[in-house]
């Protein structure tokens, strides 16, 4: 039997999307994990992270929280991630999880100077991605779903930046050979993304953006989802080494 993955739940979807369940469910389905192949710990609501022993890897969800708020639960999770990364546990952070992992490893997180990035965006891979276990062989440019206000302003020392968008210089990084952060949401379907745009339409208008135009540009992002599935396969291949 395959060892389970730990899903570190750091927040809830926007209220209008909670009828579709939460981030751990979306991640588990997108990653191709069965119900008995994932253990969810809701750190935002005070649950304690377990020992990392026996897990194939850990996946950290997105959140409406801000890493810069330095909430107690977030800082405790960052410490756990720092120790897990140095111990060699495969890690994969998504959006808030990406930022939290960068913060845990000594990078800098803050508000993006250009504001919100939202919708189906174009990712461009750096040449360093050609040798990366999760990104190698993917097109140099592909679509991904994104929604964020904060960003990794400076990747951790020693990290390799793997992808960027026109808006964000650090959309993915690898630290060491077993820890990844991605600003985009590989678990989002086009339907999830449209739901987020509807929920944020007032904010988009207030920022000078057109919700209809953002929604009209939404499309499927299968290559982004492949990155998450590759993490699962790669982490399993490393288990026990």
234 is catalytic: no
Asked whether the whole model's pTM tops 0.95, one would answer yes
Give the chain's domains with CATH numbers: 5-238 (3.40.50.880)
Catalytic residue, candidates 95, 103, 170, 234: 95
| Residues belonging to the chain | 241
Provide the pLDDT for residue 59. 98
Do 2 and 56 meet the contact criterion of CB atoms below 8 Å apart?
A: yes
Provide the pLDDT for residue 239. 80
Residue 240 has pLDDT above 70, yes or no: no
- Mean pLDDT throughout 16-34? 96
Catalytic residue, candidates 167, 185, 192, 234: 185
For the segment 123-165, what is each residue's pLDDT rounded down to a tens digit? 999 999 999 999 999 999 999 999 999 999 999 999 999 999 9
**Average model confidence (pLDDT) for the chain?**
97
| Token reading at 53 | 């022993």
Distance separating alpha carbons of residues 45 and 56, to the nearest angstrom = 24
What would the DSSP string read from start to end of 120-148?
Answer: EEEEEE-GGGGG-TTTTTS-SEEEEEEEE
Residue 224 has pLDDT above 80, yes or no: yes
Name the 3-class secondary structure at 207: coil
10 Å Cβ neighbour count for 226?
Answer: 16
Residue 241 has pLDDT above 80, yes or no: no
Distance separating alpha carbons of residues 12 and 231, to the nearest angstrom = 23
For the segment 95-127, what is each residue's pLDDT rounded down to a tens digit? 999 999 999 999 999 999 999 999 999 999 999
Q: Considering the chain, what percentage of its residues have pLDDT values greater than 70? A: 99
- Mean pLDDT throughout 22-27? 98
Catalytic residue, candidates 170, 187, 192, 234: 187
Provide the pLDDT for residue 1. 75
- Mean pLDDT throughout 208-215? 96
Provide the pLDDT for residue 2. 86
């Amino acid at each position: 039997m395959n060892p389970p993955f730990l899903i570190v739940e750091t927040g809830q979807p926007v209220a209008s999307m909670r009828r579709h369940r939460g981030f751990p469910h979306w991640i588990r389905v997108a990653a191709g994990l069965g119900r008995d192949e994932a253990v969810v710990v809701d750190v935002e609501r005070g649950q304690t992270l377990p020992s990392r022993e026996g897990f194939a890897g850990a996946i950290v969800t997105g959140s409406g929280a801000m890493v810069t708020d330095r909430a107690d639960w977030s800082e405790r999770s960052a410490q756990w991630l720092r120790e897990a990364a140095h111990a060699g546990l495969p890690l994969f952070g998504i959006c808030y999880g990406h930022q939290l992992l960068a913060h845990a490893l000594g990078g800098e997180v803050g508000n993006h100077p250009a504001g919100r990035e939202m919708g189906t965006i174009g990712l461009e891979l750096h040449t360093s991605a050609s040798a990366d276990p999760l990104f190698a062989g993917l097109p140099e440019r592909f679509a991904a779903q994104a929604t964020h206000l904060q960003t990794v302003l400076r990747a951790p020392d020693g990290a390799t930046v793997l992808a960027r968008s026109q808006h964000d210089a650090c959309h993915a990084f690898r630290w060491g050979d077993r820890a990844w952060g991605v600003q985009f949401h590989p678990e989002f379907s086009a339907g999830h993304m449209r739901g987020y745009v509807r929920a944020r339409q007032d904010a988009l208008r207030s920022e000078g953006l057109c919700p209809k135009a953002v929604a009209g540009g939404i499309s499927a992002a299968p290559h982004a989802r492949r990155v998450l599935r590759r993490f699962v396969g790669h982490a399993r291949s490393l288990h026990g080494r």
